[in-house]
Each structure stands twice: as C-alpha cells, then as structure tokens.
C-alpha cells in the first residue's frame, strides 16, 4: 500500500505541476479571492462620497460683483477672494506683466481666457498665512492697489502678485472653471 500512496502524492499533471503543488496553488488562489473581496468594500468605503466631493467645491456668481469690487468667500474652510477688475486695472496689470517680479506671472496666466476681468485667489498671504486686506470696501489695498497684508507688510497688485514685502509668492490661484458666463466652480 505504501508505494501506492507515495505515487498519488507525487502525481504529476500533464502540464508538469505536481499534485501537491497544485493544492498549494489552489489554496493561494482562494486566499487571493478572499483578500480581494475584503479589500473592495474597504476601498469603496474610503473613496469620498458625492456629498463630500460637492462640499469641497464652491460656486460663486461673479456677475453679481461690480467692476472694481472684490468679495470674500470660503473655499475648503479658507478665505477666497474674487475680484472684478476695471478696464483700467486690467490695463495696469498687463502693463506690469513685463516688470521684474519676485514670482513672475502674466495676468493672462492668472485668469481664464475671455474672463481676464475675474481674478480668483486664495485670501491667504504666502508669507505666514495672514488674511490680507483689500477685499472689503474701504480696506487698505496696499501700494499696488490689490491686497495688503498688515502682519508684516506684504503688498500684492491687482492681479494678486507679490510686489513688496516678505511674502515669497503670489496669492495662490486655486483650480476653478466657469460653469456658465458668470458662475464659477472652485475646486
Ligand atoms: S503673513 Fe503676510 S506679510 Fe507676513
């Protein structure tokens, strides 16, 4: 009987896999399916729901902002500035495109094509994170007519570009798109 048992366990299939190996392969395969079926619900639970995605975007009707005005909104719990530039401010910003700046960027790079009068930036100074002035009526807009950070004296121009003071970067332009002629979706 013993030789017969030995022959069974060492049985080799047509493609050369010994039977004992096949048992191991089959067991691993089953474990793999088990792991995959456990992982999938975990991964699908980790993906953000549509509600969460919607809450992380902000929609603003920029048509309600008059040229020369700015508004303060909130995007992902941080201040967001939206500014409507006057034709004079657009001309001044374009003229300054050629000026040597700390963080060079043309107005066209900081606005959307066909909407160069709408400037959308985070309201967070790039020095140490204070909220600059200039978005509300009567606030100090600094030496370049845009925004002024009173914490350590950073001046941003009408395109939100750093022109004077310790801030190293322009005010950040977040990801956004025009959903219609006047409504933007940020995020
Ligand atoms: S935090 Fe704005 S200048 Fe320092």
pLDDT exceeds 70 at position 43: no
Tell me which of 47-56, 61-70, 137-146 is least confident.
Answer: 47-56
Residue 19 phi/psi, 5-degree rounding, is -60, -40
The catalytically annotated residue of 115, 127, 152, 155 is: 152
H runs (alpha helix) in the chain = 2-9, 19-46, 50-55, 87-96, 107-110
Confidence of residue 49 (pLDDT cuts 50, 70, 90): low
| Residue 133 Cα to ligand 1 middle (Å) | 11
| Residue 150 Cα to ligand 1 middle (Å) | 7
Cα–Cα dist 36/117, whole Å:
51
Render pLDDT for 97-135 as a digit per residue (tens, 0 to 9): 999 999 999 999 999 999 999 999 999 999 999 999 999
Query: Is ligand 1 within 6 A of the CB of residue 166?
Result: yes
- Asked about 127 being catalytic, the answer comes back as no
Burial code (b: 16+ CB inside 10 Å, e: under 16) for 149-174 equals beeeebbbbbbbbbbebebeebbebe
Cβ contact 187:58 at 8 Å: yes
pLDDT for res 24? 43
Q: Closest ligand 1 atom, CA of 165?
A: 3
pLDDT for res 20? 47
Q: Closest ligand 1 atom, CA of 167?
A: 3
Two tokens at 180? Answer: 């219609």
Q: Closest ligand 1 atom, CA of 166?
A: 3
């Amino acid at each position: 009987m013993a030789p017969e048992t030995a022959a069974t366990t060492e049985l080799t299939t047509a493609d050369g896999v010994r039977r004992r190996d096949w048992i191991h392969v089959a067991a691993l395969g089953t474990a793999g399916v088990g792991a995959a079926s456990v992982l999938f619900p975990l991964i699908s639970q980790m993906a953000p729901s549509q509600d969460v995605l919607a809450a992380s975007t902000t929609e603003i009707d920029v048509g309600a902002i008059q040229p020369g005005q700015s508004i303060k909104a909130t995007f992902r719990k941080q201040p967001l500035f939206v500014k409507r530039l006057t034709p004079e401010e657009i001309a001044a910003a374009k003229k300054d495109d050629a000026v040597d700046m700390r963080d060079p960027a043309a107005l066209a790079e900081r606005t959307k094509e066909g909407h160069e009068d709408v400037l959308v930036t985070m309201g967070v100074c790039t020095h140490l994170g204070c909220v600059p002035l200039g978005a509300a009526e009567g606030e100090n807009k600094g030496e370049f007519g845009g925004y002024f950070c009173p914490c350590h004296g950073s001046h941003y121009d009408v395109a939100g570009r750093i022109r004077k003071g310790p801030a190293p970067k322009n005010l950040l332009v977040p990801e956004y798109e025009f959903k219609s002629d006047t409504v933007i979706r940020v995020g």
